[in-house]
Amino acid sequence: MNYEDLITLGIAFGLGLLVGLQRQTTDNAMAGVRTFTLVAILGVVAGFLTRDFDNPYILPAFGLAITSLMLMANYVQSKKEPDTSVGQTTEVALLLMFAIGSYLVLGDQVIAVVIGGSLAVLLYIKETLHNFIDSLKDKDLSAIMTFVGISLVILPVLPNETYGPLDVLNPHDIWLMVTLIVGISILGYFVYKWVGKKAGMISNGILGGVISSTATSVSYARYSKSTQSISKVAAFVILAAVTVSIIRVIVEIGIVVPQKLPQLILPFVVLFIFMTILSVILFYTISKDENKEEMPEPKNPAQFKSAFVFGILYGLILLAVAFTEKEFGNSGLYIVSIIGGLAKKDAITLSLANSIKGGMATELGWRLIMTGVLANFAFKIVIVAVLGNRKLTLYLGAAMLLSIIVGLLMIWLWPET
């Protein structure tokens, strides 16, 4: 007895029950739990026959038979109830269930199970998905289409080789970093679209850090100028967003140079914990009557112009790091880190992570990245001082200065190994 085949049948039976149960709960007249289970098992049997008799025509014959049965069923249904609207979701799901059953035998079972589970989830969230799509505005669709263009149209056609002086400019790698940053930002943006207006200020700070801590700082600083009572709340949300942005830095390092992440992560974790403690302290100083403000809705984070500017900035920082390291040694790199951190924290983080991947010492690399992060913290204080009110500047400035001091102490005192 072949126990692997029995296990395959059991998996098909379970997936058929799962998807069929979802269809049954929608009162679908075309197919329910029994039909989906039988079709999944039929796919497995067709796969067994194809494998055992080594006949490539058996599987398509069964597929055509199922398609014919569905066409006939729809025809009969339309004759009985001419006004009935006939959809295609259940029919496509049945064919996919048959294909999954066959792939369990002839392909990768893990992939088949993932597809089957994803199919059940996709069918289940129909209403939620439709409501979300109905809530999309023109700028949301623009964000989606821009990201598709950036990641699926432009990225694949760019050459994957280095050009220019110092041999560090790789168009494909540069645009891959652009795709990464835009992808992270757009993820946070759509999470905000889903829960942002219903969430409290803690969630607003977290989402602000995922989308853009700089944009969050600008929005709340301007808001505090016209609404004095929001100062403490604004300070907390900005501080929380900046704190979460450290996790974003860690993620970026992990994506670019995952093999060295354990050697780079600890100082940033320490800074994150310290700033989290500051955020908690500030949170508990906020009076209850102030905790009622919504996060100003963020702008579209996936704009081609912004992506293009980020790509140019990232390329320039790559050149600056390579040139400075060659001409002035390690000491000059700190100046580049400060300038890069003031301009764009993501760009300096990714470029230095790329340098670490290319051979830069990890001890130097994390210190340079930390320098860029601290320079960006100082820039946040300037933003709030220029755009916000005095009370917000006092609260946030104190917290950020303490964070900068802790970061500088780590750069100076952290052991070399």
Please tell me whether residues 190 and 60 are part of one structural domain.
no
Non-local CB neighbours of 99 within 8 Å, separated by 6+ positions: 43, 63
Query: Do 126 and 214 lie in a common domain?
Result: no
Identify the domain boundary among 75, 107, 131: 131
Say yes or no: 87 and 222 in one domain.
Answer: no
What pLDDT is attached to residue 411?
Answer: 92
pTM, 2 dp: 0.69
**Three-class SS state of 163:** strand
> Given pLDDT bands bounded at 50, 70 and 90, which one contains residue 290?
very low
* Alpha carbon distance 122, 395 (integer Å): 46
Query: 376 and 283, same structural domain?
Result: yes
Residue 378 sits in the same domain as residue 363: yes
Contact present, 391 and 404 (Cβ < 8 Å): no
Per-residue pLDDT, averaged over 2-16, amounts to: 85
* Structural domain count of the chain: 2
Higher pLDDT, 72 or 278: 278
Please state the φ and ψ torsions of residue 158, each to the nearest 5 degrees: -75, 140
Whether residue 192 sits in one domain with residue 83: no
Q: Assess whether 48 and 102 both reside in one domain.
A: yes
Lowest-confidence segment of 110-124, 125-139, 295-309 by average pLDDT: 295-309
On whether both 29 and 172 belong to a single domain, the answer is no
For residue 18, pLDDT beyond 90: no
Kindly tell me if the per-residue pLDDT of 169 is higher than 80: yes
140-145 average pLDDT score? 82
Structure confidence at residue 276 (pLDDT): 94
Q: Could you report the per-residue pLDDT of 87-103, keeping only the tens digit for each?
A: 577 778 888 889 999 99
Structure confidence at residue 82 (pLDDT): 61
Max mean pLDDT among 11-20, 118-127, 279-288, 393-402 falls in 393-402
Q: CA 41, CA 1: separation in Å to the nearest integer?
A: 18
Where is the domain boundary, 131, 151, 177?
A: 131
Measured CA to CA, the distance from residue 373 to residue 346 in angstroms comes to 9
pLDDT at 42 over 80: yes
Q: What percent of the chain has pLDDT over 90?
A: 19
pLDDT of residue 146: 85
Q: How far is CA 213 from CA 33, 63, 209, in A?
A: 48, 52, 5
The DSSP annotation for 169-187 comes to: B-HHHHHHHHHHHHHHHHH
Q: Which contiguous run of DSSP H or E holds residue 127?
A: helix 126-134
> In the predicted model, is pLDDT for residue 171 greater than 70?
yes
Same domain, 321 and 176: yes
CA distance 406 to 410: 6
Give yes or no: residues 91 and 175 share one domain: no
| pLDDT for the residue numbered 73 | 74
Contact indicator for 213, 377 with CB cutoff of 8 Å: no
Average the pLDDT over 390-394 and give the result.
89
**Inter-CA distances, 227 with 234, 295, 392, Å:** 10, 13, 11
Lookup: tokens for 110: 């893990």
Is 127 in the same domain as 182? no
Mean pLDDT of 287-300: 54
- Lowest average pLDDT, out of 25-39, 255-269, 388-402, goes to 25-39
Domain that holds residue 339: 136-413
Across 328-352, b (16+ Cβ under 10 Å) vs e yields: eeeebbbebbbebbebbbbbbbbbb
What number of other Cβ atoms are within 10 A of residue 377's Cβ? 23
Q: Which of 87, 107, 131 is the last residue of a domain?
A: 131
- The proportion of the chain whose per-residue pLDDT surpasses 70, expressed as a percent, equals 88
Any idea which of 16-30, 254-268, 380-394, 401-415 has the lowest mean pLDDT?
Answer: 16-30
| Maximum mean pLDDT: which of 70-79, 206-215, 305-314, 349-358 | 349-358
Average pLDDT, the chain: 82
| pLDDT computed for residue 144 by the predictor | 83
Tokens of 96: 């996919």
Give CA–CA dist 380/403, Å, rounded: 12
Q: What confidence score (pLDDT) does residue 29 get?
A: 54
Q: Which amino acid is at 212?
A: S
Q: Do residue 86 and residue 202 come from a single domain? A: no
Q: pLDDT (tens digit, 9 = 90+) per residue, 217-252?
A: 887 888 777 776 778 888 888 999 999 999 999 999
Q: pLDDT at position 142, please?
A: 80
pLDDT at position 315 is: 84
Specify the pLDDT at position 372: 92
Q: Quick check: 20 and 10 in contact, CB under 8 A?
A: no
pLDDT on residue 216: 81
